[in-house]
Amino acid sequence: MGGELLAVWRRLPVVVRAPVVAFAVLQAGSTLGVLPLIGNVKFLRDVPWAPVATLLVMWVFWRYASGAGYPRSTSAYRAAMTRGQRLSAPVWRAAAPVIVTALIACCSLRLMLPSLVVVAPPSLPLDLSAYPFATVMGLAFALATSSGIVEEVAFRGYLQKSLEDAYGIVPALLLTGVAFWLAHADKVALSHLPFHLLASVLLGATAYLTRSLIPAIVGHLLGDALLLPAYVYHRPGVLWSLLAARPVWAGEQSQAFADRVGATWAALRPDLLLAPASHPLAVTAWVLLASLAAAAFALHRLARIARSAA
């Protein structure tokens, strides 16, 4: 019976099998990653011990996901899915600008979205205002760490790598981006899709070019770490005002699509960028364009250096 089920499983197309495996990895890793957070919320609340426990749990998760442990028959597969390439110093130096520019681009787009489309302000399932600052920051770091490792292993590892091998890099990047958004669909709406797609494409391209998940994990962790404090404390004010903004066209009497586009363009006009009454959307929009151009250049350079280092 087991052999027959395995044979049926192997006959399924990769586009079916890969998401099933990736979401199973995501579920297992997320369950492990949340345990230290729940523990720190319930026990020794004044001591920020969650980061240390999370690092230990994530080390075990990473070791197993990348090939250690049993069954030994799956070790090679697990190692291949987590892209075990060790990065040379030149590749690391080339990957660093990609991480920085991708981080700026993704954060800029996330800050822009509420001014363009209807996006609910971010909220947390738990009120952390009564907890000590050190504990809250520890929880935020622990959450960013577990999310960065688990989601990169699941999506840029098990999902994207399988799709790359079967269909090529471009379909793999796009399909992984959609799956990345679907994994967050319980907390976000369709309007978040551009953000998740951009983040997935940039992180996925970095993983593909370096043949390693480590740069993508670093970028993911830093992105979450930058935005999570604003989610908790609604500060700095300029960040929260953008995250909680209404679309620039919301006050228009006419809600026709052309009028919405006109109101949006009025807020984006480059000649008003430095005007005292300019909308913050203009700044984030042009930062997004500049960072995307810089990220494209950095990715091109990374591809050349990674190719020569191979």
Residue 180 pLDDT > 70: yes
Mean pLDDT for 222-237 is 86
Q: What is the pLDDT of residues 40-51, one digit of tens each?
A: 999 999 999 999
Looking at the whole model, is its pTM more than 0.85?
A: yes
Helices (H), 12-157: 14-42, 50-65, 75-81, 89-116, 133-151
Terminal-residue alpha carbon distance, the chain: 44
Angle ∠(291,157,17) on CA atoms, nearest 5: 125
Task: With cut-offs at 50, 70 and 90, classify the pLDDT of residue 256.
Answer: confident
Angle ∠(163,165,169) on CA atoms, nearest 5: 65
Q: What is the pLDDT of residues 261-280, one digit of tens each?
A: 887 877 777 776 666 666 77
Task: With cut-offs at 50, 70 and 90, classify the pLDDT of residue 59.
Answer: very high
Query: What six digits make up the tokens of 161?
Result: 């790598």
Residue corresponding to tokens 């090939």: 67
Q: What is the pLDDT of residues 186-215, one digit of tens each?
A: 777 888 899 999 999 999 999 999 999 999
| CA distances to 92, 205, 288, 293 from 97, in Å | 9, 13, 15, 12
Residue 82 pLDDT > 90: yes
pLDDT reported for residue 277 = 61
